[in-house]
Amino acid sequence: MIVLLLGVARNLGYEAFYISHILGFLLAIIFTAFHRPYWIWKIPVAMLFAGAIWALDRLIRGSRMLYNMVNNSATIYQLPDNGVRMVIKKPLAGAVPGSHCFVWIPSIRAFQTHPFTIVSNTKASGLELILNSYSGFTKAVHDRAHREIGTSVWASVDGPYGAIPDPKNFHKVILIAGGTGATFTFALATSLLQHLESNSGTHVDFIWAARKRENLDWFADHIQSLCQHGPGMNMMLHVTREGSKESLSDSSAPAPLAHSVLAPQQTVHRGADSVSSEDPMPGAADTMEEKTAVNVSAESTEKHRRSRDLDSLCDIKYDKLEAAKVIGETLEAIEPGQRVLIASCGPQSLTDLVRTTAAQHIASAEISIDVHCETFGR
């Protein structure tokens, strides 16, 4: 149980962690009975009480899942570099961006629920989630989005969970994320700017280190909205993988439709004006394949346009993010007596660096610094 509490198993695999955690709990009860045989008549009473609390929790969660499933669905979209955008039809009552919820999709995993950070939650557009595909459930969701573009599946959510500080109570907000940790910081930034008054003195520094240039397209709409907000928002985007800038034009260029509508067994001869195929009717294509090809071509064209828009709106740096330096320069420019919130989400190395940098400035500066860090695992 102690090993499981360290979080190593959770980061390596959430599903394995969840199952092993339950098995560890059962083994702890059995070993307790062997270790204290004189408690043989008291242990069942204590365990029944603990089991009743657990069962009540499961009953409440299950009831909320079933209630939220009524007339609800999730539409999933494939994003570049194994990303997935999921939009739940019905907004989640009481959920604020930055908190998390458990998602249940019976057609993909009938007996599993998985936690994801809420990017946005509005009546008009529903509940938005962004996830990265690794293995297990997220890979299954990505594969479904790849096979069926813009497909809708029966889904439900349970939540919200998690407590986050209110950014409106601070003079300066520094949001820093690495990789998919941007789901948390984008949620905070979007929610903050929606509720801030025009004459508010709160300033936001948004810092994101992404692995590839394609990862920026995951939050293209949110980036455009934040960049266009005004002088109170400072966007710093870093693409850390070498070659991302050079490969951008090739990766985001729209594919020609003529090649997209070809059946899998058809081949194009570059030196001739004809198309050869093993199909006896090379000009005939399945209706579903044609629709899919048109959707793929339109999606590629839209992605290419949005990529150009991001380059014109934001100063994207293709280098490694020096988080300690950036945070330090920002804190040094803050006037004494002001309150600062540093919210970070990403790998453990990033959050440790954020805490260390903040601690150094707390000891030497006359400013109030609150730090909120979240880490993620696979």
pTM of the full structure: 0.72
Residue 277: what pLDDT? 37
Tokens of 145: 């989005």
Residue 241: what pLDDT? 80
Domains of the chain in start order, with CATH, are 2-68 (no CATH), 71-161 (2.40.30.10), 167-246+314-375 (3.40.50.80)
Residue 328: what pLDDT? 87
Residue 108: what pLDDT? 92
pLDDT in tens, the chain (378 residues): 566 556 555 656 666 777 777 787 777 767 776 676 666 677 777 777 877 888 899 899 999 999 999 999 999 999 988 889 999 999 999 888 889 999 999 999 988 889 999 999 988 889 999 998 888 899 999 999 999 888 899 999 998 998 888 888 888 899 999 988 999 999 988 888 777 665 567 888 999 999 888 888 888 888 888 887 767 788 889 998 866 555 444 444 443 333 333 333 333 333 433 333 344 444 444 444 444 444 444 454 555 555 556 666 777 888 888 888 988 888 888 888 888 999 999 888 899 999 998 888 877 667 788 999 888 655
